[in-house]
Amino acid sequence: MTTSEQPLQTISAFSRAVGLSTSSIRDYGAIGLLVPAEVHPASGYRYYADAQQRRAIWIRRLREAGLDLDRIRTVVDAEPQDAERILDDWLAEIDARAAAASQVAEDLRAELRAAGGASPARTCRVRVVVEAVVAAIQQVMRACSREDDSFATVLLEADSGRLSITATDRRLLIRRSVPAVTLGDAGRFCARPDELLSWLDALAPGLCEFVIESSDARKPGGDIPRSMLLDADGVPIAVPSRIDPFPSPERLIDVADVPLARAALQRAGAEALLSDATTANLQLEFADGTARLISEKATLTGRSNGETLRLRVARSPYATAVQATIGDQLTCTIYAEPRHIAWTAPSQPDFVALATYLPA
């Protein structure tokens, strides 16, 4: 459908482009926060303009960071100076809550140590938006293995003001991070995505609080350190801990060399090419400022910079990586050591998909 000025997107296409569920888009429309550009008078179908994507992405990112809808509405509609004032006040509130929680935790630890009752367990208290965690799990779980139960899981890592969710089948690794308030030690917990989603679906929307508790103590008869989820009151949550086989995506990025090359590609074109391809491998070429993703049926071109390269990439993991991304644009970055390609999206800086490649 088009208006006189520009084509319009269906709610499903708009949802994929901005990373919001269709139900959230409808809810935001009902309260006047994200109103459709057009509603079909007979069918009631909603249509959205490309120009609305920026607003929708900021709504998603602010909501994931924990800002309430009333203030989100004010921020996205306000003059710049008013929006900055609201954001400054919000950040000051977060800092005050974090400082108060940190002080309480330190006081309690001191009392436990003085009483000789300190626990050997390490704990990380996490405060995060439920919907953001659900969306992140649903996005990364595409990389869960369907053949190996050891990799049919997702990893939660909480540290330094964020909660990162990772999945891998050993050919492809996808990670998404969401803003969180984290207190205490770094936390790491591995579980099946369906079990995590079942727990999260039972929670009220908005902010939730939970604790990742881990210990270096070994399970009887085993060699896997204990790790468990607790609710805010310290009661165990019925999500079983699974064996943690994950590498650290942070470590993979940290040890990477300076990129060999980088390219910008259209997501829709890449998805179409990968869906239509039938061979197991594709070619990815970088030369003269142009990147080319080549199948036996089509070629997709985009802007590039860096070295001249010709690579062989496996179709299946790259198709999954592209399907998992959000937005119209993709960026692929080539690293020599370790030998992998990082797929990212400008509209979602907290997302990365890593897959290996071979020289052509």
In angstroms, rounded to a whole number, what is the distance separating the alpha carbons of residues 138 and 174? 11
Domain 8-77 grouped into CATH 1.10.1660.10:
yes
Whether 256-359 and 119-246 are alike in CATH topology: the answer is yes
Q: Where are the domains positioned within the chain?
A: 8-77, 119-246, 256-359
In angstroms, rounded to a whole number, what is the distance separating the alpha carbons of residues 355 and 172? 5
Tell me the whole-structure pTM to 2 decimals: 0.74
- Classify domain 256-359 by CATH number: 3.10.150.10
Residues 69 and 205: beta-carbon distance below 8 Å: no
Q: How far is CA 114 from the centre of its chain?
A: 41
Give pLDDT, residue 223: 42
In angstroms, rounded to a whole number, what is the distance separating the alpha carbons of residues 183 and 58? 26
Q: Which H, E and C letters describe 339-360, residue by residue?
A: CEEEEEECCEEEEEEEEECEEC
Give pLDDT, residue 224: 47
Residues 226 and 241: beta-carbon distance below 8 Å: yes
Mean pLDDT per 10-residue section of the chain, whose length is 360 residues = 68 88 90 92 90 91 87 89 87 78 67 58 86 93 86 90 90 91 87 94 88 63 62 84 71 63 92 92 94 94 94 92 89 84 89 85
Give pLDDT, residue 315: 92
Question: Hey, what amino acid is at 275?
Answer: S
Give pLDDT, residue 357: 85
- According to DSSP, the residues that pair with 278 across neighbouring strands are none
3-state helix, strand, coil in the chain (%, to 5): 35, 35, 30
Q: Which CATH number fits domain 119-246: 3.10.150.10, 3.30.390.30, 3.40.800.10, 3.30.870.10?
A: 3.10.150.10
Residue 340 main-chain phi, psi, to 5 deg: -150, 165
Both tokens of residue 287? 């030369």
Give pLDDT, residue 5: 59
Q: Identify the CA nearest to 267 among candidates 341, 210, 322, 190.
A: 322
Instruction: Give the number of C-alpha atoms closer than 13 A to the C-alpha of residue 181, restricted to the C-beta side.
Output: 19
For tokens 């800086």, name the residue. 349
